[in-house]
Structure 1
Amino acid sequence: WFQLSLKEGLTVFREQEFCGDMGTRALERLHAVSGLRRGQFPEDAGAMAHPIRPASYETIDNFYTSTVYQKGSEVVRMIQTLIGRKNFRKGLNMYLKRHDGQAATCEDFVAAMEEAGGVDLGHFMVWYRQAGTPVLDVTSSYDKKKKEYTLRVKQSCPPTPGQKKKDPLNMPFCVGLLDQKGRDMKGTFVLDVAAPEEVFVFLNVEEEPIPSLLREFSAPVRVNYPYTEGQLRLIMASDIDGFNRWEAAQKLFTQYVLAGGAVPEEFIKSLRKVLKDKKLDAATKAMTLSLPSEAELGLTLLASGKKIDPVKLYHQRQAVIRAMAEGLSDDLWAMYETIENSLDEKASDGVARGQRSLKNLCLAYLAKIESESTAPLAAAAVAQSRNMTDKIAGLDILADGDSALKPKMFAHFAKQFGDQPSIMDHWLAAQSSARRPDVLASVKKLMKHKAFTLKNPNRVSSLLGVFAGNPLGFHAADGSGYAFVAEMAATVDKLNPQAAARLAKPFLRWRDFDAKRQKMMKAALAKLAKGKLSPNVREIVTKALGAKV
């Protein structure tokens, strides 16, 4: 079991490579990075943070995690970047030939890569035993006379439970240089970072460049660099690296959310250019216009030394969405109508999926400022569309609002698909994810619906698990969300310990929130701890209450 990430990390990596080959490689990379940040980065910041190869466990069921799978795939990807795609393929063939049918280890895999690439990956093995998300603090200077550009990279890693002291890691740090007009100057450099502090000097640089850092998300780390807003807008508009174009937008969105929600007109203009860029595919546009999740924004707050008020953060995020929707209203309507009038409902290739994603994002943003105009369109998607993605998007848009059409459309969907549980999971999730103060009452009512049962883990995940990720429900100011989820975890534990453990995991990060919420979350955990619990849930509760770093 300790070698679980060897199989699963490699499998996830191969799946991502296959999807990139079949579709758009840059877009597939964005999906992978976005998922890693939403799921694995918070895991690395919690009381059960663990390496991709845990040194011990109480129950293996609790380690089928984003760290083992998604971060495990990033470790494999880093090896490919360090030794090159050709050598990586050679090493993979060598590994499979040597160990087919054997109980292979992570060391066996890395040894094959070392031989194929002619490199020593001994230092790289720290990734297999060390938890946490590393941070790279980068500064730069330019010598105009010598035409030399210098990057200084300092790495660190926050302490995690059981690992207060961290060793420096070996990683590929892919970097490009842009001129003041956003043009690429010298291609992409793969810098080999290994020491706590590294200095890299670029020669014959004709003007002071803007650095394009961590191209293709070459390592699962956070990067800090003192970009100006203008530099980020230029990267967003011009960088040849798809990840960094998206990342620049994410950084600007984060800055505006945490500042309170005001959005400068210059940023609105940059987003308009993205929407109108004919060379950019629809899926990438949708990704670029999507804000960081509340979970990702919370981690940024923590990195700055502040605790999280999740409800306040939600409202600040909504303020940015409304400001963006107001500034881009005409453009969003034009894009929505163009795609709606031209896209074949039956089309399901990559291009069509991207267009559908962008169309539904435009409508969702417009719903924040023009609910009377958008509700009928969302309802029409639920009632009339022959495409399930559009139907579910319509439910999601209606769920947050107060339109009279909402109960009718949810009833219509349930009547049409009530005998198909996997589809009804989306129906349950749309209602439990609704960003409404009365969402807990809605969830309790849905627990009595015939589409739900505590005995099925998929139903539990769709209704209760999704609720536990809803900031207005789980983090309600009166603590009712915490008490409810803890109670449900205890109830489900008697039926399915694995599902109950997943339900209890949001409590692992109780120390990250404001003082009032810390007190309420800890109280809910303490009450849960008094009951007779399975080893699965007991491990979660014990580590949540006892973790110290």
Structure 2
Amino acid sequence: MSVNVKRRLDYQPPLYTITNVVMHVQLHATATRIKTVSTVQRVGDHNSPLFLDGEKMQLLSLAVNGEAYNLYSHVEGGISLTEVPDTFELTVETEIDPQNNKALEGLYLSNGVFCTQCEAEGFRRITYFLDRPDVLAKYEVTVSGDKEKYPTLLANGNPIAKGEESDGTHWVTWQDPHPKPCYLFALVAGDFDLLEDSYTTTSGRDVKLELYVDKGKRDKGVFALESLKRAMKWDEDTFGLEYDLDIYMIVAVDFFNMGAMENKGLNVFNSKFVLADQDSATDEDFFNVESVIAHEYFHNWTGNRVTCRDWFQLSLKEGLTVFRDQQFSADMTSALSNRIKHVRVMREHQFAEDASAMSHPIRPDEVIEMNNFYTVTVYDKGAEVIRMFHTLLGADGFRKGMDEYFRRHDGQAVTCDDFVAAMQTATERDLSHFAKWYSQSGTPVVGVSRMYDKQKRTLHISLSQHTPATANQQEKEPLYIPVAFECIDDTGKHYPDDDGLIKDGLVILDKPSVSLMFSDVPESCLPVVLGNFSAPVKVDNPLSAKELLQIFRFADDPFNRWDAMQSLYDWCITQIELDKSVPDSVWKALADVIAAEKDNHELLGECLSIPSFETLCQTRVGVDVAALASARQSFCAQFASELQSALLTVWNGFSSVSYTYKQTDVNARRCKNVALGHLARTADGEALIEKQFAEADNMTDSLGALRAAQSGSAEVFNSLMTAFEQKWNHDPLVLDKWFALNATTEREDILAHITMLKSHPQFTMGNPNRVRALIGSFAFYNPVGFHQPDGSGYQYVTDYLLELDQHNPQVAARIVTPLTQWQNYADKHQQKMKAQLTRLVNHEGLSKDVFEKVSKSLAYEKSE
């Protein structure tokens, strides 16, 4: 395959820009016509041709200043116009086929709804244009279509005119007064139910709020609309940022590649992040709705008003906005549970990405397909880097930096360096060393060593840092790492260091190593490192089970208490891997923990959760999947057996109350369901599961019973799953949960079972949610099934990807990820995984999206 590698350092400013766009979109299922009139200006003194991006469409006509124009040629990726004036009006007429656009990029028609997705490079599937984020224009868009089929016609901005025609069509004109890049262009047409509300900003402006959902689902949008108002208020209170249009619209659609899209004034959402009620949505669903609603709203400033100069700067808007939505969610729900949720994502997925061939800095250096930039590194590690800014500068300093950022760059397309510069200027702090986080890939490892002198009663602790070589970078430099640090003894007393290196609970590790000395301290003193996950690093801090329990008892930071328990479970599983037993003292201590924290439902629920297989993989190399999975299963079984009485007390301690989505109830339900998951492995489990499933008045408890049943009797699980499917077969979003449970269940005939599920009436390859629920869940979260010794799991997923890639390369490129992370597994797994990757890379017609990830993965062997 011939590929064009794009590099960040090759960036050149545009030779032409577009300042104003007037579009008329005449909707038709297979022959939509778009007339685009753009004001084009030459930038600088040159005679270069004007290149316009364009693909997957028919060019009907081209005119310059109203006259037919023939001085153009079709070239790879678009058209090239020569001898154009310095400033002119360019008219482009194109025709596209939305109904057969199965990639769901550009303008497409699915399930009776016209919808757009233009980020990153979808606008070029609608018209020939300068499809790059640093070209900002004002848009006026008229959408026309059949009034009966598409009574709702939406685009960016404010509606300024509408009308009807005698042929049964109608039209609406929308005007967006704010210059924007074309990736933020949006158009939606269909027949929806509408929820309406309003919001009055701090300055007294009234904003009309509209939420469009599928017919009959109006009640399921109420929570999303309330979440939007909370996000608007929070952004005003926290960052002083108000909304800037007269109307804010959200549309929920079933067929969407992403979670949601922040198009200016018209956010398009995957319906799973809008629709929620207690019968059909879990507590996690409610959380995600509020979080994603907020995320897309916050983009209005961090992404729209200030946008990216180029796609290599994607973390400028995404990392920053993820951090903002995390802060919002922590304020709306719980700081601890939110932090744990985000750290799990880092440890399960981002660390794995850093250790694979797709390792890249949060500001990448090169790419083949821009869609492959949408990674956990850019988003989640990017958010952790922003969080470190917040940690180092404090809330007030961070706010000053944000204010300066908007003052300098409102209405501009800028870079990550511009953000760092604004933060640095506003706080008068040198951030040049810290900025290396933007350019260096990989996961640093912070090593902790200690030496105690019994005679002098002194404790010497050394912190060191080392970042392993990654696929794209062999040489690493020391980073600027804020390490949250406590030193505690076995009575809970905390100690300062002699030299005052611990300031505000932080040690700055900005060189290969830092030493701390503690005088007149007992031998039981322990270093407690990386509180609240103060930096996106791994920690090598050898501690015994007794010492980990000491941290749990006495650490100030509740995150550290949870983290100590996770490390203890990892230690126990390692003992089993080494054919050693878990000491009785550990089981007694765990029983004491459960008794002591019985009323602290949030912490207890988190601490009863055993690290996932995916998290355990990141603390090991050369993973033998069957051996690790067996050791984890063995520990879970012992956990249930040894602690059955304590767990049963926990489960019985929750009285049946009517469902409400508030944090205390969320904490209680989570704790109860985690306990039930353990009890499923005991003799009482079957009866408890059936009781909870029968009595549940909400989706959280229904699904909790089903998840618990995965670990118990197959007969009970199959019976409950049948009942669940019969009850919910009318609701595709709920059935996605059912598909995912099926896909992640350990069973010998899992591949045949998945094949059967693919023929289910609600499953379709054309819907990304269904594909992610079934095939994605299997590949990512069924390690025993996916990593079958004979390689059949790898082959099964590869066969499906070859078919999916022909229709939707974006989704295929995401699901191929587990195959590309072969490096951390035992050789017997590696060879079979690479064999399937070789099948993919040699397949004629493979998309750039999948080719990039697969070819890089196979090439990674050369840098070992």
TM-score range, shorter chain: over 0.9
Q: Please say if 1:466 is aligned against 2:777.
A: yes
The residue that corresponds to 1:223 in the other structure is: 539
Q: Please say if 1:538 is aligned against 2:857.
A: no
The residue that corresponds to 1:393 in the other structure is: 704
The residue that corresponds to 2:766 in the other structure is: 455
Distance of 1:345 and 1:160 partners within structure 2: 51
CA contact (8 A) 1:149 1:208 kept: no
Distance 1:445 1:194, change over 3 A: same
Q: Please say if 1:260 is aligned against 2:572.
A: no
Which range is displaced more, 395-404 or 416-425?
Answer: 395-404
Residue among 625, 638, 648 paired with 1:310: 625
Q: Please say if 1:38 is aligned against 2:348.
A: yes
Distance of 2:726 and 2:663 partners within structure 1: 31
Q: Please say if 1:405 is aligned against 2:716.
A: yes
CA contact (8 A) 2:680 2:689 kept: no
CA drift of 1:127 comes to: 0.7
CA drift of 1:517 comes to: 1.5
Distance of 2:505 and 2:648 partners within structure 1: 41
Which residues in structure 2 correspond to 1:207-286 (within 5 Å)? 209-260=525-576, 262-278=581-597, 281-286=600-605
Distance of 1:209 and 1:326 partners within structure 2: 33
Deviations 1:18-43 (A, max 9, x none): 22222332232122112211111111
**AA partner of residue 284 (structure 1):** L
**AA partner of residue 195 (structure 1):** K
CA drift of 1:208 comes to: 6.0
**AA partner of residue 435 (structure 2):** M
The residue that corresponds to 1:102 in the other structure is: 412
Matched residue SS, 2:506: strand
Distance of 2:592 and 2:615 partners within structure 1: 26
Residue among 662, 669, 676 paired with 1:356: 669
**AA partner of residue 227 (structure 1):** L
CA drift of 1:123 comes to: 0.9
The residue that corresponds to 2:791 in the other structure is: 479
The residue that corresponds to 2:738 in the other structure is: 427
Unaligned runs of 5+ in 2: 1-310, 497-501
The residue that corresponds to 1:527 in the other structure is: 839
Distance 1:105 1:280, change over 3 A: farther
CA contact (8 A) 1:184 1:240 kept: no
Q: Please say if 1:332 is aligned against 2:647.
A: yes
**AA partner of residue 527 (structure 1):** R
CA drift of 1:189 comes to: 2.5
Which residues in structure 2 correspond to 1:72-83 (within 5 Å)? 72-83=382-393
Distance of 1:410 and 1:350 partners within structure 2: 28
**AA partner of residue 707 (structure 2):** D
CA contact (8 A) 1:379 1:406 kept: no
Distance 1:278 1:528, change over 3 A: closer
CA contact (8 A) 2:677 2:711 kept: no
The residue that corresponds to 2:358 in the other structure is: 48
Distance of 1:379 and 1:142 partners within structure 2: 54
The residue that corresponds to 2:638 in the other structure is: 323
Which residues in structure 2 correspond to 1:126-145 (within 5 Å)? 126-142=436-452
Which range is displaced more, 33-42 or 15-24?
Answer: 15-24
Distance of 1:380 and 1:82 partners within structure 2: 50
Distance 1:278 1:324, change over 3 A: closer
Distance 1:80 1:144, change over 3 A: farther
Which range is displaced more, 455-464 or 248-257?
Answer: 248-257
CA drift of 1:125 comes to: 1.2
Distance of 2:842 and 2:522 partners within structure 1: 67
CA contact (8 A) 2:495 2:518 kept: no
Distance of 1:114 and 1:343 partners within structure 2: 53
Unaligned runs of 5+ in 1: none
Deviations 1:29-88 (A, max 9, x none): 122112211111111111101111101111111121111111001001111112222211
The residue that corresponds to 2:400 in the other structure is: 90
Distance 1:102 1:37, change over 3 A: same
CA drift of 1:384 comes to: 4.0
The residue that corresponds to 2:689 in the other structure is: 378
Distance of 1:367 and 1:8 partners within structure 2: 40
**AA partner of residue 623 (structure 2):** I
CA drift of 1:274 comes to: 2.6
Greater fraction of residues in strand: 2
CA contact (8 A) 1:124 1:170 kept: yes
CA drift of 1:128 comes to: 0.5
CA drift of 1:380 comes to: 4.0
Distance 1:436 1:182, change over 3 A: farther
The residue that corresponds to 1:201 in the other structure is: 517
Distance of 2:833 and 2:649 partners within structure 1: 45
The residue that corresponds to 1:515 in the other structure is: 827
Which range is displaced more, 178-187 or 223-232?
Answer: 178-187
**AA partner of residue 809 (structure 2):** P
Q: Which has the higher contact order (CA 8 A, sep 6+)?
A: 1
**AA partner of residue 180 (structure 1):** D
Distance of 1:212 and 1:63 partners within structure 2: 35
Deviations 1:102-122 (A, max 9, x none): 112211211222223322111
Runs of 4+ in 1 over 6 A off after TM superposition: 144-147
CA contact (8 A) 2:575 2:582 kept: no
Distance of 1:428 and 1:436 partners within structure 2: 15
Deviations 1:448-496 (A, max 9, x none): 1112111111101000001102111100111110100011111110111
CA contact (8 A) 2:680 2:711 kept: no
Matched residue SS, 2:814: helix
**AA partner of residue 334 (structure 1):** T
CA drift of 1:378 comes to: 2.4
Distance 1:162 1:382, change over 3 A: same
CA drift of 1:536 comes to: 0.5
CA drift of 1:190 comes to: 1.2
CA drift of 1:398 comes to: 2.5
Task: Report the TM-score, using the length of structure 2 for normalisation.
Answer: 0.61
Residue among 503, 509, 514 paired with 2:815: 503
Distance 1:225 1:401, change over 3 A: closer
**AA partner of residue 774 (structure 2):** L
Distance 1:156 1:399, change over 3 A: same
**AA partner of residue 479 (structure 2):** L
**AA partner of residue 820 (structure 2):** L
CA drift of 1:144 comes to: 6.6
CA drift of 1:427 comes to: 0.4
CA drift of 1:182 comes to: 2.4
Which range is displaced more, 110-119 or 136-145?
Answer: 136-145
CA contact (8 A) 1:16 1:28 kept: yes
Distance of 2:370 and 2:692 partners within structure 1: 43
Which range is displaced more, 319-328 or 267-276?
Answer: 267-276
**AA partner of residue 231 (structure 1):** E
RMSD over equivalenced CA pairs, Å: 2.0
The residue that corresponds to 1:172 in the other structure is: 482
CA contact (8 A) 2:359 2:472 kept: no
The residue that corresponds to 1:290 in the other structure is: 609
Aligned sequence identity (%):
38
Matched residue SS, 1:3: helix
Greater gyration radius: 2
Residue among 454, 459, 464 paired with 1:154: 464
CA contact (8 A) 1:246 1:288 kept: yes
Distance 1:368 1:453, change over 3 A: same
Task: Report the TM-score, using the length of structure 1 for normalisation.
Answer: 0.94
Deviations 1:392-436 (A, max 9, x none): 122222334444333332222122211211111000000100022
CA drift of 1:377 comes to: 3.2
Deviations 1:276-326 (A, max 9, x none): 225862122121121211122122111xxxx11112111100111111111
CA contact (8 A) 2:710 2:717 kept: yes
CA contact (8 A) 2:480 2:511 kept: yes
CA drift of 1:235 comes to: 0.4
